[in-house]
Amino acid sequence: MPRLLIRDLAQVASPAGRAAPLRGSALADLDWIDDAYILCDGARIEAVGRMRELGPLDDDIEELHARGLSAVPGLVDCHTHPAFGGDRVDEFSLRAAGASYEELHAAGGGILSTVEATRAAGEVGLARAVSRHRDWMLRAGTTTFEGKSGYGLDRKTELASLEAIAAAGGIPTWLGAHAVPPEHATADAYLDFALADVLPEVATVAEAADVFLERGAFDVDQARRYLQACAAAGLALRLHGDQFTESGAIPLAIELGARSVDHLEATGSEGIAALAASDVVGVLLPASALFLGRPMPPARALVDAGASIAIATDFNPGSAFCESLPLVCSLAATQLKLSPAEALAACTVNAAHVLGRAGTLGRIAPGYRADVVLLDALDWRYLAYHLGGNVVARVVKDGVSD
Ligand code: NIG
Ligand code: FE
């Protein structure tokens, strides 16, 4: 594979140092170089520096002229739900007219309507849907994505969802406890089935397990039973928690040593303090809060208290039909009161940490994977500043430019 020189960049910005996750004031520490180059050797970054310090190079180097563009690390989306059939545009219209997400869910719409469409999609339909969604993410600068199952909730469709995510290059998470499907009378009966009949096979494909701990979904005891069984099968743990109500997700995540607890729109001061004193990452999903008209999560308070945070899209058909991390960075700056530098670290190196890949992903530095987003801007902060704009000019993934 030839080496690739990305030259004449207006700026390169990357989270500083080598540590992960970045927390507290370190979240804003950035390495920032003007008039710069990035040299990739195959799928790895070999060197980064100033153009004027670039020495002589061999003839067989491919050059990418990036005058007028800035570079940030390939973005890492650590929370998406890309494996679904159908859409929820009718429900979106009903919500626009005043119906609430929880009411629609309780009436058998919401997640369960997507379960029906996902079961009907079949293996081929699901694989097509995931690769389509992956392409949307890539165009928006996401070079690594985590993808959750959770719209099949039977053995065949959960497995097909996870395999479709892996085949599309994503990092699969089994969201086996997302909702109780109609063929099971209770949440406990469903979990009996899921843990006995689904977990053994999905554990061979998924890297992590996730649960929706919420009123109307799964309670703390059910979430503990599910997550403990998943941990015993070798999966890392994630939780959807405090989205609508504070239901004990943060203490449970800490008790079980989970990688993250995600959402946190309803988290209060005790939860903030507990998370800040722990190693669990708070994954904030401002596009979901915006899409549902919910309060934003307490991002500033979490960072100021010393917690580790990441930001992600939560891409899904019901609560966040949004694949754009640049838009999430804009929301982070305008709604969560994070600086552009904090937002960048939250969707690169900290998101990579949530996915167990902090040593190789999320920085533009020697040895890291050659995933780079070229922004159509002289200043990298346009990533957050250009609200909803076409800020991504080109994407380099594994040392290959699009
Ligand atoms: O992260 N909260 C639960 N799960 C998804 C939404 C799923 C849906 O509405 O289809 C979320 O927001
Ligand atoms: Fe989610």
- In this predicted model, what pLDDT tens digit does every residue of 206-223 receive, in sequence order? 999 999 999 989 999 999
Average pLDDT of the residues of the chain:
96
Residue 65: C-alpha distances to residues 6, 299, 380, 394 (Å): 6, 38, 17, 11
Residue 203: C-alpha distances to residues 56, 167, 181 (Å): 49, 16, 21
pLDDT in tens, 321-340: 999 999 999 999 999 999 99
Protein residues with C-beta less than 5 angstroms from the ion ligand 2: 314
CATH number at residue 16: 2.30.40.10
pLDDT score at 105: 79
Are 26 and 122 in the same domain? no
337 within domain boundaries: no
| Nearest alpha carbon, ligand 1 atom 5 | 319
Q: In terms of Cα–Cα distance, which of 294, 221, 216, 307 is closest to 261?
A: 307
- Both tokens of residue 375? 């922004």
Pocket of ligand 1 (CB under 6 A): 81, 110-111, 114, 212, 240, 243, 288, 314, 316-319
Are 54 and 183 in the same domain? no
Are 370 and 270 in the same domain? no
**Segment 66-79 mean pLDDT:** 98
**Segment 349-358 mean pLDDT:** 98
Q: In terms of Cα–Cα distance, which of 20, 28, 49, 37 is closest to 396?
A: 37
| Ligand 2 center–CA 210 separation, angstroms | 9
Q: Provide the 3-class DSSP secondary structure of residue 93.
A: helix
**Ligand 1, atom nearest to 151 Cα:** 10
Number of the ligand closest to the Cα of 319 = 1
Alpha-carbon distance 107 to 212, whole Å?
Answer: 18
Are 177 and 268 in the same domain? yes
pLDDT score at 1: 74
Are 275 and 292 in the same domain? yes
Domain count within the chain: 2
Are 145 and 275 in the same domain? yes
- Ligand 1: residue of 180, 247, 319 to mutate (most ligand atoms within 8 A of CB) is 319
Are 94 and 242 in the same domain? yes
pLDDT in tens, 13-32: 999 999 999 999 999 999 99
**Ligand 1, atom nearest to 317 Cα:** 10
Range of the structural domain that residue 396 is part of: 3-73+363-401
Are 225 and 262 in the same domain? yes
Are 27 and 119 in the same domain? no
**Ligand 1, atom nearest to 314 Cα:** 1
φ, ψ for residue 386, nearest 5 deg: -85, 85
- Ligand 1: residue of 77, 112, 213, 240 to mutate (most ligand atoms within 8 A of CB) is 240
